[in-house]
Amino acid sequence: MTPRVAKLGLDLKTLAPGFHRRRFQTRHVGFIAWIWRGGPGPVLLLNGATHGDEYEGPTLLRTWAASWRPAQLRGTVIMVPVLNEAAFLAGQRVHPVDHGNLARAFPGKARGPVTSRLAYLFDTQLLAQATHYVDLHSGGAAYALLPWVGYLTRNDAIGRKQRAMAACFDEFWCWSGPFLPGRTLSAAHARNIPAIYVECQGAGGIDPNDLAALDRGLNNLLQGVGCLDGPHPTFRRQKTRTSNDAQEAHLQAHHPAPHDGLFVPAVELGTRVRKGSILGAVHALGDSRLSPVKAERNGRVVLVRRQRSVRKGDALFTLAPV
Ligand SMILES: [Zn+2]
């Protein structure tokens, strides 16, 4: 059944209590939202597949949409399992038409390129109405990550709310960092909406442990933000890291491939390494050249490239001091 198309500018508070499906679309971009309306209260917005090759978020949110019918819901919960439909259907990180990275396109423009229009549609139609926001990511097809939850650091009441939201995902470690432009979280930041993102392992598939950890986190969060009543959940102790340098948590910036070729990693995800140690190598295709990749710092391998073919400049590893 095709969901009804929402009138642009739909005030979610005008929807009757209960469960709704709506398609938001304009100018050849769109997405489907699953909306649970309860009484007055918080408006929690979650989405998956900001990047099209990340499947944990869509899988979790689809499962909830199929079965979750709470008897006592306070406020509104909105889930967009697949935000970037064209990228998702193409099985790739970026949009197949303009090759735009949706996580760099926010807040977007009403009449910009297709990725910019999609960002604008989400920002103005849903994010603008949210009181809390969660963006579900993963390593996608090309990378494997040591799962974490994160947010943009700020020293105010919103920062404290973000910390509390992140603590709900207590099976992941927590990484906060400075403002970076273009992200969904930057758009939430501009609107003073507490927002977190979650990064699951990825590696082209779904680790069932990640799904279970996400599910637990979402249950905790619904109670934590006040959408559901229940005994206050008890959280596991979470390892945390606050980065003051924006580059530290910029995943595309570290250990770039020195040239095109075949990448052979020598360390596993989660390994602790020392600065200067060999992490792997890139073999050139046309000659016997082999370029070792050495650790830029002491730290733990929190990202490793899984796709073995690399172009010059592709990020191969990220190390974090956790
Ligand atoms: Zn992503």
Task: Give the Cα separation of 269 and 201 in Å (integer).
Answer: 10
Q: Which residues contact 322 (CB under 8 A, 6 or more apart)?
A: 173, 175, 239, 241, 299, 300, 302
- 162-176, 225-239, 251-265, 299-313: least confident range: 225-239
Measured in Å, residue 289 CA sits from the centre of ligand 1 at 33
In order of 108, 203, 223, 245, the CA distances from 102 in angstroms are 9, 20, 30, 23
Measured in Å, residue 296 CA sits from the centre of ligand 1 at 23
pLDDT tens per residue, range 182-200: 999 999 999 999 999 999 9
Structural domains of the chain ordered from first start: 4-242 (3.40.630.10), 252-320 (2.40.50.100)
Q: Is 230 left (phi over 0), alpha (psi -120 to 50) or beta?
A: left
pLDDT tens per residue, range 299-312: 999 999 999 999 99
| Inter-residue contact 141 to 91 (CB < 8 Å) | yes
Measured in Å, residue 92 CA sits from the centre of ligand 1 at 11
62 vs 232, which has greater pLDDT? 62
Measured in Å, residue 288 CA sits from the centre of ligand 1 at 35
pLDDT tens per residue, range 56-95: 999 999 999 999 999 999 999 999 999 999 999 999 999 9
Q: Is the pLDDT of residue 252 over 80?
A: no
Query: In this structure, what are the phi and psi dihedrals at residue 6, rounded to the nearest 5 degrees?
Result: -75, 140
User: What share of the chain has pLDDT > 70, as a percent?
Assistant: 99
Measured in Å, residue 106 CA sits from the centre of ligand 1 at 14
Measured in Å, residue 248 CA sits from the centre of ligand 1 at 17
Residue 241 — very low, low, confident or very high, per pLDDT cuts 50/70/90? confident
pLDDT tens per residue, range 4-19: 999 999 999 999 999 9
Give the pLDDT score at 287: 84
Give the pLDDT score at 248: 73
Task: Give the Cα separation of 299 and 321 in Å (integer).
Answer: 4
How do the residues of the chain divide into helix, strand and coil, expressed in percent and rounded to 5?
A: 25, 30, 45
Give the pLDDT score at 314: 96
Measured in Å, residue 101 CA sits from the centre of ligand 1 at 9
Task: List the structure tokens of 44.
Answer: 């929690």
Residue 106 — very low, low, confident or very high, per pLDDT cuts 50/70/90? very high
Q: Is the pLDDT of residue 224 over 80?
A: yes
Question: Amino acid identity, residue 186?
Answer: S
Measured in Å, residue 78 CA sits from the centre of ligand 1 at 19
Measured in Å, residue 139 CA sits from the centre of ligand 1 at 7
| 3-class DSSP state of 249 | coil
- 81-95, 102-116, 213-227, 233-247: least confident range: 233-247
Residue 231 — very low, low, confident or very high, per pLDDT cuts 50/70/90? confident
Measured in Å, residue 126 CA sits from the centre of ligand 1 at 19
Mean of pLDDT values over 21-41: 96
Q: Count of CB atoms within 10 A of residue 267's CB?
A: 18
| 3-class DSSP state of 218 | helix
Measured in Å, residue 39 CA sits from the centre of ligand 1 at 33
Task: List the structure tokens of 231.
Answer: 């005994």
Question: Amino acid identity, residue 285?
Answer: L
Mean pLDDT of the chain: 95
Q: Count of CB atoms within 10 A of residue 114's CB?
A: 19
Measured in Å, residue 16 CA sits from the centre of ligand 1 at 33
Measured in Å, residue 18 CA sits from the centre of ligand 1 at 31
Q: Is the dihedral of CA 197, 199, 205, 210 positive or negative?
A: negative
Query: What is this structure's pTM?
Result: 0.95
pLDDT tens per residue, range 138-184: 999 999 999 999 999 999 999 999 999 999 999 999 999 988 899 99
Helix (H) or strand (E) holding 148: strand 148-152
Helix (H) or strand (E) holding 43: strand 39-48
